[in-house]
Structures are given as C-alpha cells and as structure tokens.
Amino acid sequence: MFGLLKKKKQLASSAIDYNNLPEHIGIIMDGNGRWAKKRGLPRSAGHSMGARVLEQITRAAGNIGIKYLTVYAFSTENWSRPDDEVKALMKLIGEYLDDYRRIIGDEDMRVRFIGSKNGLTDDIIRKMHVVEEATKDNKSITLNIALNYGGRDEIVNAVRSVAQKVSDGELNVSDISEKLLSEHMYTHYMPDPDFIIRPSGEQRLSNFLLWQSAYSEFWYSNINWPDFTRADLERAIVDYQSRNRRFGGV
C-alpha cells in the first residue's frame, strides 16, 4: 500500500504538500461554450470535450489524494438554455452514465449525485441509481456530480424538510441550528468544500454550494474548462496551500 501511495504521489507535482491537502474540492466547470465558439464548433462539442477533461481531472484528484470532488454539471438555471443545447447535454450525460465502468477503470471511486430529480427523465434517473449502487462501496475518492442543482433550491428544500418535521411534532423550533440544516442538505454525507475552482475567467459562485462555501477558499483562472489540465489542478492546490485559513478568527 505504501509503495502504491508513493507511486501516485510521484505522478503529481513535487511542490504539493501532502500533509495540507484540501479534503473537498468543488469545481465549476465553466467555459465549454466559449471554448467551442473560439474554434468555430457547436457548443455541444465544448461540452463533449469538457466531459473528457472531467475524467482526467477526477483521476488526477484521486491520485493526488483528494477525498471529495464536487463538480457542477448542470444547474437548475441551465434549463433556460436553447432546447438543442439542453438536449445535447442530457444526451451527453446519459452516455457518460452508460460508460461509467470504462471511465472509472480500476479507480476506487464512488460516484454520487446531488440536486433535484424534477425535470430529469426516468431513464437518466435510472442510470444515476445504477452508477451510485455499483460504486457505493468504493472509498478512495467520492465524485459528486451536481446535476439539476441549485444552491438556493437546496436551501429551500432543506428548510421545507425541517419545517415539515416541526409541523409533524418531530422537532421543536428551538432544535433548528446550522448543524441541523447542514444535515438536510444534499451534501450531508461529506465535509464542506475547502476549495472551489472556477476556470473561464468568471468570478462568481453561480448558485453553487451556497450554504457549504461559507469559508471555502476560491481560485479563478482564465482557462476554459476543456483546456484545464492536471498541471492547472496542481497549481491551484499549491496556491491553496499558501493561504492562511482563519475561519473568522485572527
């Protein structure tokens, strides 16, 4: 086991401090459309290339030692995009789910989905369930795919769930706390993200992990997601490790 760990670390940047890794990284996979437009390609080509990059970055994160990776695949607001683009995205997601065994390979990767199932087809939901069940016992890295996800929607759903329990007499109003609300978020089974990466030049959260990112560090880059590489991931982690996280203290 030690030999395998050593081998994995040799694949990554020697500048990384393996005693100070972010446990949970969130990535807003932005810039697929701009990448395609720059090359005179349809936006769907950018999304396809972005899916390939996701495979590479997930493997890289696992090799480095990241325990949780949450990626923004499709937001609740993305339904407002042109029908052709939405259909292409859903087709790509379905193909990605069908091909999960090849994508994962021999990686000890658990795949989970966060977000609302409202609006998703029965076929997509079934495929999501198949992937989650098939990978549920894997432990090295958990890949959380935020699909039909919105941070505000998540908070509203959590509040509704808690309110229903108060109405049913299962909870008192005095029982409501940050910890209780966190336990009703989609991400209740993992720590909050230490670090959020957004390529493409935009510098906003865009409704991604609003509750969980209260004390996350951020890293922005002008690189469009389809051009994002393992070297960029390593560079971002090294930058994260240079920061002093005070969590409101001195």
The residues annotated with a catalytic role in the active site are 30, 78
Q: Which two tokens stand for residue 171?
A: 């909870």
Residue that the structure tokens 């982690």 belong to = 237
Q: How far is CA 4 from CA 60, 64, 125, in A?
A: 15, 12, 36
CA dist 94 and 123 (Å) reads 8
CA 55 to chain centre: 12
Give 217's strand partners.
Answer: 195
Residue that the structure tokens 């069940």 belong to = 133
